Amino acid sequence: MARRGYDLVIVGLGSAGLVAADLAAHLGLKVAAVERDRIGGDCLWGGCVPSKALLASARAAHAMRTADRFGLTPVEPLIDTKPVLERIRRIQHDIERSDDNPELLAAKGVDVHFGAARLVGPRTVDVEGVGELHARFVLLCTGSRPAIPEVPGLSEAGYLTSETFWDQERLPESIVTIGGGPVGVELSQACARLGVRTTLLQHGERLLPREEPALADRLGGLLRCEGVEVVTDAHAHGVAVEAGEKVVRATVGEQPREWRAQQIVVGAGRAPNVEGLGLGEQGIEVNDRGVVVDGALRTSVRSVYAAGDLAGRFLFTHTAGYEGGVAVRNMFFPARSKATELVPWCTFTDPELAHVGPTEAEARERFGTRARVWRYDLAESDRARTDDATEGEIRILTVRGKIVGAHLLAPNAGDLIGELTLAIDRGKPLRDLATLVHVYPTRSLAFAELGGQASYELADRFGFLVRSRPWRRGR
């Protein structure tokens, strides 16, 4: 049966689709949303939520094992990973019930349909078992899926991804993780802390290649200290099953090596879900990263927008939600806005590694000698000392005094990066951070300390006599 008269049809109810549906409903628009699987998308069922819950359990086990750092008697935890995984599934279903379910959307006035969707016109979506939905605008946000490397024997041996990892009854006794990006690094640290013998293979010369190299290397060293076998420049060329174990064969440099484990975990990037949407038939441009969009998130067809992983700009839950809102505003508001390129992100290891703006090398390539790096080692932080968490570093990049980037290797770095993101967005100089009162003792005092250094330097350059400095205990 054909259905007509919608202002907006949303295809995909992950982070981008949910935010878009909520905003459009609040604007009083007539909205339909289509989901082929489960509401919540990768974030709830395969990404952020389960991985952070696993990391929390792993952090608790690590704290018990290293309790002597706090003057307590350490104890090796008795770990049964079945209740760990059951806890993760409970959290997922709690979020599904409270936030990500069709009844809530329906209560807001959104018509929710389940089934495969396909564009059959610039303003028409055909939904399997439902019929055609017609609208002024269509928003595509079907997300992405784990990319699987073409390694001979991998499919035959079997493997886990961030989507299937959570279906296990228990964690395996040993794993080889292929891929040293955020997924591979987070899962490797968590598994190692929960007693799984863990090997992490990275194709490139370092883990987390998009991060500040020195901080990524420092994090890699911490993983090695916790028992993860980290192998870089590893080129997997074959997988086999021998005597009940999975064998990964690779060359490291020019040397052949192999690793045996109960299970293989693939964390080698993401691939956009562009198949079956009828994009080519409608003339919508697609490349390797996904659907091509302009700054307003509009595709090559004026009535069709794309957001989130499908648009291939930034593959994060928070950017997907942000882009969903931007797309709806650009469809229905008179003033159009451009989706920002200033996006912070975080790898949620312990310590966390957060990032906003260019790396040091990128800044020097873009700005030349005008780029400057300000460094603060966590060993200088009183809070880091009280928490016995002094392994880490903060780096802030400036150009002519203004902050353009920041990289934090620290506990709760994902929470700290917001202040620096706002400073970059508002074009603030580093010295302004010294004029803000930061709570003592927190790690954010490092920002004031670096801001103070920038202030003193500016004063010295112009011959001012500095008689006082921003407050810090003991100074």
Between 468 and 135, residue with greater pLDDT: 135
pLDDT category of residue 292 using cuts at 50, 70 and 90: very high
pLDDT digits (tens, 9 = 90+) for 249-276: 999 988 999 999 999 999 999 999 999 9
Helix (H) or strand (E) holding 242: strand 234-242
Residue 373's alpha-carbon distances to 201, 358, 397, 434, in angstroms, are: 31, 11, 5, 17
User: What's the mean per-residue pLDDT of the chain?
Assistant: 95
Instruction: Kindly tell me if the per-residue pLDDT of 80 is higher than 50.
Output: yes
Identical fold between 3-145+271-332 and 351-461? no
pLDDT category of residue 50 using cuts at 50, 70 and 90: very high
Output the CATH code of domain 154-269.
Answer: 3.50.50.60
Domain ranges in the chain are: 3-145+271-332, 154-269, 351-461
Domain 351-461 fold: Enolase-like; domain 1 (3.30.390)
User: Looking at residue 1, what is its pLDDT?
Assistant: 43
Separation of alpha carbons 22 and 435, rounded Å: 38
Share of the chain above pLDDT 70, in %: 96
Instruction: Kindly tell me if the per-residue pLDDT of 447 is higher than 80.
Output: yes
| Averaged pLDDT for residues 199-228 | 97
Q: φ and ψ at 88, to 5 degrees? A: -60, -45
Separation of alpha carbons 456 and 450, rounded Å: 10
N-terminal to C-terminal alpha carbon distance within the chain? 75
User: Looking at residue 475, what is its pLDDT?
Assistant: 46
Number of neighbouring beta carbons within 10 Å of residue 139: 29
Q: Read off the DSSP letter of residue 148.
A: -
User: Looking at residue 335, what is its pLDDT?
Assistant: 85
pLDDT category of residue 132 using cuts at 50, 70 and 90: very high
CATH of 3-145+271-332, one of 3.90.550.10, 3.90.950.20, 3.30.70.260, 3.50.50.60: 3.50.50.60
User: Looking at residue 100, what is its pLDDT?
Assistant: 87
Instruction: Kindly tell me if the per-residue pLDDT of 464 is higher than 70.
Output: no
User: Looking at residue 468, what is its pLDDT?
Assistant: 47
**Is pTM, for the whole model, over 0.75?**
yes
Give the long-range contacts of residues 245-248, CB within 8 A, separation 24 or more. Answer: 246/157, 246/158, 246/176, 248/176, 248/178, 248/201
Instruction: Kindly tell me if the per-residue pLDDT of 3 is higher than 80.
Output: no
Instruction: Kindly tell me if the per-residue pLDDT of 298 is higher than 70.
Output: yes
